[in-house]
Amino acid sequence: MKETAYLLSRDELVGKFRKLPVLNNFENKYLRQILSLSKLRMYEPGEQIIEEGQNDRWLYIVISGEVRVHKGGEELTRLSHVGDIFGEMNVIDGQPRSASIHAVTNTTCLAIDASFLDKLDEQDKHPFNAVLYRLFSEILAERLRETDAELARCRKDLEKYRKA
How many residues in the chain? 164
AA identity, residue 29 = K
Measured CA to CA, the distance from residue 149 to residue 156 in angstroms comes to 11
Report whether pLDDT(127) > 80: no
Measured CA to CA, the distance from residue 121 to residue 85 in angstroms comes to 25
Measured CA to CA, the distance from residue 164 to residue 158 in angstroms comes to 10
Radius of gyration of the chain (CA): 18
**Domains detected in the chain:** 2-118 (2.60.120.10)
Measured CA to CA, the distance from residue 158 to residue 145 in angstroms comes to 20
**Which helix H or strand E contains 3, and what residues bound it?**
strand 2-3
Tell me how many helices (H) and strands (E) the chain has.
5, 9
The reported pLDDT for the residue numbered 81 is: 92
DSSP code string of 88-127: HHHHHH-PPPSSEEEESSSEEEEEEETTHHHHS-HHHHHH
DSSP code string of 8-27: TT-THHHHHHHTSTTTTTS-
Contact between residue 67 and residue 104 where contact means Cβ atoms under 8 Å apart:
yes
Contact between residue 44 and residue 103 where contact means Cβ atoms under 8 Å apart:
yes
Render pLDDT for 66-76 as a digit per residue (tens, 0 to 9): 999 999 989 99
Render pLDDT for 63-106 as a digit per residue (tens, 0 to 9): 999 999 999 989 999 999 999 999 998 888 889 999 999 999 99
Measured CA to CA, the distance from residue 87 to residue 116 in angstroms comes to 15
Mean of pLDDT values over 6-22: 87
